[in-house]
Amino acid sequence: MITAKADVKEGKQASEELLAHKISNATDKITPPLVRAHSSQKHCYPSDRSDHSSAAQICVDNPPASLAVEAAVAIVINGIHYAVLMASPSQLEFLAVGFLFSEGLIQHSHELLDWEVTSLTDPSSYQQFTQGSDNKDGGAAEFEQIAQQLQDYDVYVVELVLNQRCHQRIQAQKRQLAGRTGCGMCGITGLIQALPDLSRYSQGSLQDSQNSTTALPNKIVPSLDCLLDLRQQVEAAQRTHQLTGALHAAATTYNQQLHLFEDVGRHNALDKLIGWQLRHKTDVDCVLMTSRLSIELVQKSIRGRIPWLIGMSAPTSTAIRVAERYGLGVAGFLRNDRVTYYSGYLDV
């Protein structure tokens, strides 16, 4: 019996080492474009002019524009077509893992047995992908029309293999989710799914179970100086955003190194960070979001046992009410010289 447990432990460790090696070499297999150049036409008044009257001459220029790629990312779990997310096509393995964790389908790193990311680049690859789906195509004519529509899109498929227990959760919760950029709740049918039960993270439950693996770590209020330093690091590291002006970021520091995750959707960026955290089994002190702090970011942070969630913009009232209930520290309006704490701060 002891030998069997040891074998399971060794097999689990070997599996995780193999997946870690796959992640470190994932960029060698797929290097998706994150930015594309497009033609544009800029109309503006002269920069030294303050009077924008109709008599003023408008300057017209044709500079090349760098635009962020927004891809359709299909999540397939154990052969089940589970979700489609609109996201930046980078760090897709972390996005998928973080998304499934936020959905409550996985709880531990070892539940992921294998994964593979592929790109659908032509009608034949799309047809091969749809053969295993639940969708019933209406024939060759309909498929041809769909294939033409996909010419304007970047499409990626993330195929995940989870253990049997997770597979049962998927079958119980199976749904088709069409996720839109900037909205983490799109496609959710039913109020219960949109407003998840987080009672296991409540302060009373955590106090009753000191050894609970779901407990939020003890948190220290991050100082203004630390947050300003983190903001400066993020602004310097957001290279894709500097090119396009269109990406959100979720960032944290671990072992004195910055870990940054960019995406056109703020909830996707946080899922990527949570996926990285889960795969590397790390605990972080706080996460900085370059966006506003809405309810789904708070829900994800609570589930991810993140002590502090910091935003460069404002939180919503609902987000703060939920954060206070479950002990999540939240701060917003992080600027060059100030920050505003909304929950988790000490009375002075």
Question: Could you tell me which of 165, 172, 183, 175 has the C-alpha nearest to residue 81?
Answer: 175
Do the strands 308-311 and 286-289 form a parallel or antiparallel pair, or are they unpaired? parallel
Note whether 122 and 67 are within 8 A (CB).
no
Do the strands 286-289 and 340-343 form a parallel or antiparallel pair, or are they unpaired? unpaired
**CA 285 to CA 218: how far, in whole Å?**
9
CA angle centred on 269, ends 264 and 272, rounded to 5°: 135
Do the strands 112-120 and 155-162 form a parallel or antiparallel pair, or are they unpaired? antiparallel
CA dihedral sign of residues 261, 297, 248, 89: positive
Catalytic residue among 59, 166, 183, 186: 183
Note whether 159 and 94 are within 8 A (CB).
no
**CA 169 to CA 22: how far, in whole Å?**
26
Query: Cα-Cα-Cα-Cα dihedral of 318, 321, 322, 325, to 10°?
Result: -170
Encoded tokens for 79: 């052969």
Question: Could you tell me which of 32, 47, 190, 197 has the C-alpha nearest to residue 118?
Answer: 32
Decide if 183 is catalytic. yes
Taken as a whole, the chain contains a residue count of 348
Question: Could you tell me which of 212, 222, 194, 228 has the C-alpha nearest to residue 299?
Answer: 194
Give the E-state strand segments of 88-192 in sequence order. 112-120, 155-162, 177-179
Query: What one-character DSSP code corresponds to residue 58?
Result: P
The partner residues of 261 in beta bridges, in order of sequence, read 250
Residue 151, CA atoms < 13 Å, CB-side half-sphere: 6
Note whether 93 and 157 are within 8 A (CB).
no
Catalytic positions, written as ranges: 183
